Amino acid sequence: MDPPSTLRLSLLKRPHVREARLWRPLEGRPGWVVCDLCYRRCPIAPGKYGACGVRKNIDGRLYTLVYGLLSAMALDPIEKKPLMHFYPGSVVLSVSTVGCNFFCQFCQNWEISQSRLERGLMGVQVSPEELAMKAVAYEADGITFTYNEPTIFVEYLIDASREAKKRGLYTTMVTNGYATPEAIDEIGGLIDAATVDFKGGGNKDFYRKVMRVPDPEPIYQSMLAMKDKGWFIEVTNLVVPKIGDREEDVRRMARWIVENLGPETPFHLLRFHPDYKLRHLPHTPVETLEKLARAAKEEGLEYVYIGNVWGHPLEHTYCPRCGYKVIERYGFTILSYRLTKDNRCPRCGYKINIKGTYKGKSAGMPMPVY
Ligand code: SF4
């Protein structure tokens, strides 16, 4: 092997630079590498970055440049992720880096997701151990990797999750689902729950034109890999008016979830609000969300929510058997929690799909930490 260059030696002294997981040399192209972390499987020339902008080929080896370099940290209610059926009323310490493997024109967090390291570093260095200790000090119940795509900083996610587990914290990620099965295998049981975010009904044209993602189909394979690992899954779909609100797409997605993850999988239809490059589009009409919610229920999903419409009746959880309102919410706050201790409907005894215990402490959230 060639001796390390001065550039590599100086970069390796920085705490946010670590050799990456899941890469291999590209056959027939000396010095090139392939990243196998997400389905882009970027071939990367020496000195260049992958599409996410945070993984770099330095002297024929792949490095992450965002290890522990956190762009945001906040205390959130778990309902904000959204995870409505996972430790309800609990509090998570949410963290992110910069960069993303998607290029969504509507991204609410575009300032961090579309930031690129060659334009300068952005973040505060926090070691995995420090992060877990902060979560305990803030009396959080868990840690969530969110705001930008956590797959792209998997090295830190794995180490931080390990530290979290040592301290009895749960771990979750909010993901676009584009991680390869190898990446999910690498994370294994270190993540307890995932919110898998679809946009535009998972429509292929929408993914290509509005997000620069060649094909959403691998996301379904990833969800199966997550299920195999025992992760608790909730699925969201951002409904973008005029260009990403087709009923047949939502029906297809709902059918797949029912058949492969189970009808008890919570499903969220999220209202779009104008942001980033799609400021010319209106908010999603509430009637559109309601029509799609009816369609998802008709396909067999038991728990369908409408998100980003505070005060809407589909913020609550209803018993699928008798219709009783078992959890009442306003936004991210639980107003009343009426389940029995073993998470059954108090009226008819139906077992509600809830993982974990009710914590009842998320009112007044979220709170920024920095
Ligand atoms: S994680 Fe980044 S570098 Fe790796 S394949 Fe995905 S976009 Fe490319």
Per-residue pLDDT of the chain (370 residues; tens, 9 = 90+): 455 666 666 677 788 999 999 999 999 999 999 999 999 999 999 999 999 999 999 999 999 999 999 999 999 999 999 999 999 999 999 999 999 999 998 888 888 888 766 566 678 999 999 999 999 999 999 999 999 999 999 999 999 999 999 999 999 999 999 999 999 999 999 999 999 999 999 999 999 999 999 999 999 999 999 999 999 999 999 999 999 999 999 999 999 999 999 999 999 999 999 888 888 999 999 999 999 999 999 999 999 999 999 999 999 999 999 999 999 999 999 999 999 999 999 999 999 999 999 998 865 555 444 4
- What pLDDT score does 110 carry? 84
Q: Which atom of ligand 1 is nearest to the CA of 40?
A: 5
- What pLDDT score does 368 carry? 45
Domain that holds residue 88: 69-368
CATH number at residue 171: 3.20.20.70
Query: CA 328, CA 337: separation in Å to the nearest integer?
Result: 7
Atom 4 in ligand 1: which residue has the minimum CA distance?
35
256 and 135 in a common domain = yes
Query: CA 219, CA 156: separation in Å to the nearest integer?
Result: 22
- What pLDDT score does 169 carry? 98
Does any ligand 1 atom lie closer than 6 A to the CB of residue 268? no
234 and 276 in a common domain = yes
For ligand 1, mutation pick of 52, 65, 114, 175 (most atoms within 8 Å of CB): 52
Backbone angles phi, psi at 317, to 5 degrees: -100, 130
Alpha-helical regions (H) of 31-125: 110-113
- What pLDDT score does 14 carry? 85
- What pLDDT score does 242 carry? 93
Inside any domain, residue 206: yes
Q: How far is CA 53 from the centre of its chain?
A: 18
For residue 51, how far is its CA from the centre of ligand 1 (angstroms)? Answer: 6
Inside any domain, residue 169: yes
R_g (Cα) of the chain, nearest Å? 21
Atom 5 in ligand 1: which residue has the minimum CA distance?
41
Alpha-helical regions (H) of 153-285: 154-166, 181-187, 204-211, 217-228, 247-260
Inside any domain, residue 1: no
For residue 234, how far is its CA from the centre of ligand 1 (angstroms)? Answer: 24
Inside any domain, residue 137: yes
160 and 22 in a common domain = no
For ligand 1, mutation pick of 26, 32, 36, 37 (most atoms within 8 Å of CB): 37
Q: Which atom of ligand 1 is nearest to the CA of 178?
A: 6
Q: Which atom of ligand 1 is nearest to the CA of 23?
A: 4
- What pLDDT score does 106 carry? 85
Q: Indicate the pTM of the whole model.
A: 0.94
Question: How many structural domains is the chain composed of?
Answer: 2
**Residue 145 CB partners (closer than 8 Å, separation 6+):** 94, 95, 96, 153, 157, 160, 171, 172, 173, 174
Inside any domain, residue 92: yes
For residue 131, how far is its CA from the centre of ligand 1 (angstroms)? Answer: 25
Query: Measured in Å, how far apart are the chain's first and last C-alpha atoms?
Result: 43
- What pLDDT score does 276 carry? 86
Query: CA 336, CA 330: separation in Å to the nearest integer?
Result: 10
Q: Which of residues 64, 84, 113 is at a domain's end?
A: 64
For ligand 1, mutation pick of 22, 23, 24, 55 (most atoms within 8 Å of CB): 55
For residue 354, how far is its CA from the centre of ligand 1 (angstroms)? Answer: 33
Does any ligand 1 atom lie closer than 6 A to the CB of residue 55? yes
151 and 55 in a common domain = no
Tokens at 88, concatenated: 């309800």
Q: Which one-letter DSSP state was computed for residue 179?
A: B
350 and 209 in a common domain = yes
58 has which bridge partners?
A: 61
**Residue 205 CB partners (closer than 8 Å, separation 6+):** none
For residue 336, how far is its CA from the centre of ligand 1 (angstroms)? Answer: 43
Q: Which of residues 64, 86, 114 is at a domain's end?
A: 64
